[in-house]
Amino acid sequence: MSSYTAELKRKGIRIGLVPTMGFLHEGHLSLFRLLDGRCDQKAASIFVNPIQFGVGEDLDKYPRDEARDLMLLEKAGCELVFAPSSNEMYPPDFQTYVNVEALSKPLCGKFRPDHFRGVSTIVLRLFNIIGCSIAAFGLKDYQQARVIEQMMHDLNLPVELVFGETVREPDGLAMSSRNKYLSKQERDFAVLISKALEWAKEQAESGVSNCAEIVSGIRDMLKSRNGIEIQYIETVNPETLESQEEVGDGVQVLLAVYIGRTRLIDNIRIFRSGVKRLV
Ligand code: PAF
């Protein structure tokens, strides 16, 4: 892959990359549209990165369907796919990791301690191998987006980043490969997540400025279903991910819940009416 893309670069071809773990959905495909007109060739990586999964997490059962992925990628105008094996990416002597210190610690980082270290490490390596000029990520993984942005800044990496809005099912559920794990009943419960976040946005817009009040409202909405277990609901500064008590000019509300055995995350930017959205 490196020598192939080096040749493309020599010809002045700009590669745009969408890094994925496969089992693609509309959220991924929308990222290829985001690359339209911003690069000469679109590439994808499909790699279920073992080092971003913790002990007891869903690495082994993470959904995979490479044949379907390849078909969808072709339709999305993706010309280049990098789908290495775990052994190729992590030979026994592998020992170098990238850690974006502060941004990796809160929120999901509290519950998945090495997760973002795994993400930063693989993303940097994918960028190096594929030699992309631009890469697209979804904002559903908001903390991941901030971690990668910070890594690019800190390490002076010459890859432009673009971020796509969360793509949702018609009823509001954020698209995720993990939605596949949900039973019919769990899927019905899952709709509450986006409903609660939309409610939070309306509260802020109608003048509620106290974050604790908003978080408590979200908690009550989610707790109305026995099958939902809340891992965290937090309101943070959108840049630093530090906890915020007041909505002010805008906070990011992020949450993680378990529905049965499935862990889902979602987030939304909330702000007072009259404040212009930054992202
Ligand atoms: O968002 C994902 O699918 C993964 O975390 C990524 C960025 C492909 C790294 O493995």
pLDDT for 279 beyond 80: no
Confidence of residue 226 (pLDDT cuts 50, 70, 90): confident
- Residue pair 161/134 in contact (Cβ under 8 Å)? The answer is yes
CA dihedral 127, 124, 157, 77 (to 10 degrees): 30
Can you count the helices (H) and strands (E) in the chain? Answer: 9, 8
pLDDT for 242 beyond 70: yes
> Catalytic site residues?
28
Of all atoms in ligand 1, which is nearest to the CA of residue 20? Answer: 8
Two tokens, residue 51: 């080092």
Side-by-side strand order, sheet with 134-138: 78-82, 41-46, 15-20, 134-138, 160-164
pLDDT of residue 275: 64
- Residue pair 34/62 in contact (Cβ under 8 Å)? The answer is no
Overall pTM surpassing 0.75 (yes/no): yes
Beta bridge partners of 18: 44
Task: Tell which residue, 198, 202, 253, 199, has the closest CA to residue 230.
Answer: 253
CA of 277 to the centre of ligand 1 (A): 26
pLDDT for 159 beyond 90: yes
Of all atoms in ligand 1, which is nearest to the CA of residue 45? Answer: 8
CA-atom Rg of the chain in angstroms: 19
Mean pLDDT of all residues belonging to the chain: 96
pLDDT of residue 277: 56
Task: Tell which residue, 163, 138, 146, 144, has the closest CA to residue 25.
Answer: 138
Pocket test for ligand 1, best of 21, 152, 177 (most atoms within 8 A of CB): 21
Average pLDDT, integer, range 115-136: 98
CA distance 137 to 12: 24
pLDDT in tens, 6-64: 999 999 999 999 999 999 999 999 999 999 999 999 999 999 999 999 999 999 999 99
pLDDT for 273 beyond 90: no
Of all atoms in ligand 1, which is nearest to the CA of residue 52? Answer: 10
Q: What is the 8-class DSSP label of residue 38?
A: T
pLDDT in tens, 169-224: 999 999 999 999 999 999 999 999 999 999 999 999 999 999 999 999 999 999 98
CB of 19 sitting under 6 A from ligand 1: yes
CA of 62 to the centre of ligand 1 (A): 13
CA of 138 to the centre of ligand 1 (A): 10
pLDDT of residue 158: 96
CA of 274 to the centre of ligand 1 (A): 35
CA dihedral sign, ordered 73, 75, 76, 79? positive
pLDDT of residue 224: 87
CB of 52 sitting under 6 A from ligand 1: yes
CA distance 97 to 125: 10
Confidence of residue 276 (pLDDT cuts 50, 70, 90): low
CB of 49 sitting under 6 A from ligand 1: yes
Of all atoms in ligand 1, which is nearest to the CA of residue 123? Answer: 9
Type of residue found at 231:
Q
Beta bridge partners of 207: none
Name the phi and psi angles at 132, rounded to 5: -75, 155
